[in-house]
Amino acid sequence: MDNEDDDIARAIALSLEEAQRPQPDRNATPGSDDDENEEAFQRELAAAIAASKAESETNPRTQAPPARARSISPPAPVLQPKPSAEAGPSGTSSFLTERQRMEQERLERRKRLREAGDGALGGQDDSGQSAAKRARTSPPPRQQSGPVASSSSGRTASSSQASSSNGGIFWDGELRQTANAHVDPSKDKKATFRFSDIVGPKADVSFAILSSYCNQDPWLRMMFDPSTPVILVNQPGAEGNAAVEHLCSHWVRTRPFLRNGRGAMHVKLIMIFYKDGRLRVAIPTANFVDYDWRDIENSAWVQDIPLRQTAIRHDAKATDFPATLQRVLHQLNVPAALNEHINGNHPDLPIKSVIELRMRWDWSKVKVKLVASLAGKHEGWEEVGRTGHPALMKAIQELDARANKGRSLTLECQGSSIGAYSTQWMNEFFCSARGESAKSWLDKPKTQRAKLPWPSVKIIFPTRETVKNSKLSFPGGGTMFCRKNQWEAKNFPRELFHDSKSKRGRVLMHSKMILGIFANTSSSSSGASSSSRAYKAPIDSEDEEESGDEHQSNSNIAGWAYVGSHNFTPSAWGTLSGSEGKPSLNIVNYELGIIFPLKNEQEIDAVACWERPPKKYNLKTDRAWIQDEVLNAMFGG
C-alpha cells in the first residue's frame, strides 16, 4: 500500500462501486446466473489476496509504482470460523487465511443487502457465489513416453519427476498438470508446469500478453522483469464498458465490452514474446493467483511458435488457430492496449497489430483446434458457427472426430461450476458434441426438443464428502459451485452426477475438461446402466443427409478432449434460438480452449485428470458440494 490515506480512498471507491453495481437480470439467458455470481466472489478474493501480499512487502524497492487504474482495498477484518463437528483441519496455509477473509467480506455484504430488502439475493442468486472462474486450460501429462495424440495435441509430460519443466522449448506442444503442494508424491511422478516455467527466464522476455478473470498483482509482477512491457486483460467493471488503463509505467490493463456488465471475461491466456523471435502460447485453466498454481489442481497446454523466414499475406477469411486467436484478441480489446504501449514508452514492441501473429509466425506445427466463446448475440450461421458450442462442432468436424452412423457418444464433463441445465440445452450441446449441424435441431418444434431425455453425459463434480476429505478440507472448496436450489430442483439431473477425484491424491480440481468417448452402437449397451448408456441424439435420415452427417466415422479416433476455460454451462457455451433460416446464439462469457482427437482408450485415460471410470453418486447418501451449506456456518453466515 502507498500510505494509509490511499488505503482509505481505495476502500471508499470499492464500496461505492459495489453499492452502484446493477443487480442481475432475472430474465437472463438460462444458465447465466452461475457465472454472473462469480464476479463478486472474484473481486473480493482478489482484494483479499492483493491486500495480504501488499501488506507483507517489507522492501519498498519491490513495490509496484502507484497505478493510475482503480486499486482494490483490503477486506474487512477476519472473524475466526465457528467450531463445527464437520469442519476440516485448520492448517496454516495462506490459502485458508485468504479464503476466510474473502468469506467474511462476502457474508457481510449479503447481510447488508438482506437488511436493505434487496430481492436480488433470492431465487437463483441466493448463493451469492461467484464461481471461481479459473479455467485450467490444458490436458495433463500422459503416462506413456512419446506423443499421446501426436497428430493433434503434441507431446505430453512423461518425466519421472513431478517437478517443473526442464526449461525446454515445446515446438510440438506440451500438455501437463500444474504443480501442486498437496498431491500424493506416490501418485505425482509426471512433469508439471509452474507459472514461472511457462514464462521462462525473465531476461529473455521482450513482451507479454496475459488474460485472466482475476489476478494477484504483486505475485504476477514478480514473474517478469520490471522493465518488460505487459498487456493484462481482465474483467470489465460493473457497467461492462471497454477500457484501457495504466497499472504502472510498463503494464497496461485492458477490459473488453460486456453487455450491461453481465457475464465474465473468463479467458485464460499467456503469450510470451522472446527476444530471439520465438512466441510461446499457453492456455492454462488457472487464473494468475498463487494458490491456483499451488493449492488447487489445474492444467496447461504450451506450444512455442517460430518466426517465419518470410511473412505471408493477411488472409481475412482464414479460420485456423492463429486467425481464431487474432479474433479473440480483437474482441478482448487488445489492439487498444497495443496502441497505448506503442504511443507511450514502448514504440518497438515485437508486434504493432494482432494481425501480424498469423503473418509473421509459423503455426504449421500446431495441430490442436482453438475454440472460443465470444460474449454477445450472434446471428446468422456464419457468425453462429464461429463461437460457442457450434464452433466446437466445427472443430470436431475438422478433426474428423464425428460420431456418425454406428457410433455412440458419451461425454465426461469436469468443471468447477454447475449450470442451469435443461434437457433441451443439454441435447443442443450434445448435438454439437457429436459434430452434427444444429440446423435440423432448430427446425424441430420446441415442444419436441423439450421432451427429449437426458443425453449420455456424466457431470463430474465433487461430493461434499470428497471436499471434506481433501487436503484443505471445506475451506479449500471455495472455488467449486453448485447452489442448493439447483441441486434440489425437481427436474435437476442429479442422476448424471459423478464424483470428481484427482488421480494425484486428495486435491480438488479446478480443471475444465470434456472427454467425448465413442463406442460402437452394437456394443454400447453391453454392461451399461440406463443412466450411463451411450446415447445417440435423434435425427431422421433426411436431416442426416442435409447436414452432411452421412460422412463415415474415422475408425482411428476413439474420441476427443476439450481443455480450457469453459465450464459445462450455457453461459460458457451459449444457447441457440431462432430457426434454421434465422439462427441466433446468445453467449454470456468470453472463454477459450483447445480440442484434439484421442486415438484409443489409453490416451483417453491419460488425458483425464480424474479417476476413471468416475464413480456415480449414490443419491441416497451422496450430495454435491454446496459451499454455502458449510462455509456459512464456518465463517459466521
Question: Tens digit of pLDDT for each residue in 550-604?
Answer: 555 577 899 999 999 999 999 999 999 998 889 999 999 999 999 999 999 999 9
Q: Is 53 annotated for ligand binding?
A: no
- Are 161 and 56 in the same domain? no
pLDDT at 437: 87
Beta carbons within 8 Å of 422's beta carbon, 6+ residues apart:
30, 450, 491
Q: Do 124 and 169 have their domain in common?
A: no
Residues 427 and 300 placed together within one structural domain of the fold: no
Pseudo-torsion of CA 566, 570, 574, 575, nearest 10°?
160
The answer to whether 512 is annotated as binding is yes
DSSP H helical ranges for 20-142 = 33-56, 94-115
Q: Which domain holds residue 436?
A: 399-574+591-631
Can you give the pTM of this predicted structure? 0.76
Q: Is 551 a catalytic residue?
A: no
Pair (556, 411) in one structural domain: yes
Q: Which three cell numbers stand for residue 370?
A: 482453438
Percent of the chain at pLDDT > 70 equals 68
Q: Which residue has the cell 465433487?
A: 462
Residues 158 and 293 in one domain: yes
Statement to judge: residues 548 and 596 lie in one domain: yes
| pLDDT tens-place string over residues 231-276 | 999 999 999 999 999 998 899 999 999 999 999 999 999 999 999 9
What are the E-state strand segments in 444-574? 457-460, 497-498, 513-520, 559-564
Q: Check residue 106 and give its pLDDT.
A: 52
Three-class SS of residue 176?
strand
Active site residue 266: yes
* Count of structural domains, the chain: 3
Same-domain status, 158 and 127? no
The predicted-structure confidence for 271-325, as pLDDT tens digits, reads as follows 999 999 999 999 999 999 999 999 999 999 999 999 999 999 999 999 999 999 9
Q: Same domain for 287 and 422? A: no
Q: 206 with 102, same domain?
A: no
Grid cell 482453438 is found at 370
Catalytic residue among 182, 246, 250, 266: 266
Look at residue 636 and tell me if it is in a domain.
no
Asked if 516 and 567 sit in the same domain, the reply is: yes
Cis amide leading into 455 (omega within 30): no
Same domain, 105 and 241: no
The pLDDT of residue 50: 52
Evaluate whether residue 390 is within a structural domain.
no
Are 123 and 153 within one domain? no
Determine which one of 250, 341, 346, 510 is catalytic: 510
Domain boundary among 134, 157, 172: 134
- Cα(first)–Cα(last) distance of the chain, in Å? 30
Mean pLDDT of 521-531: 46
d(CA 134, CA 122): 26
The residue out of 369, 387, 422 marking a domain boundary is 369
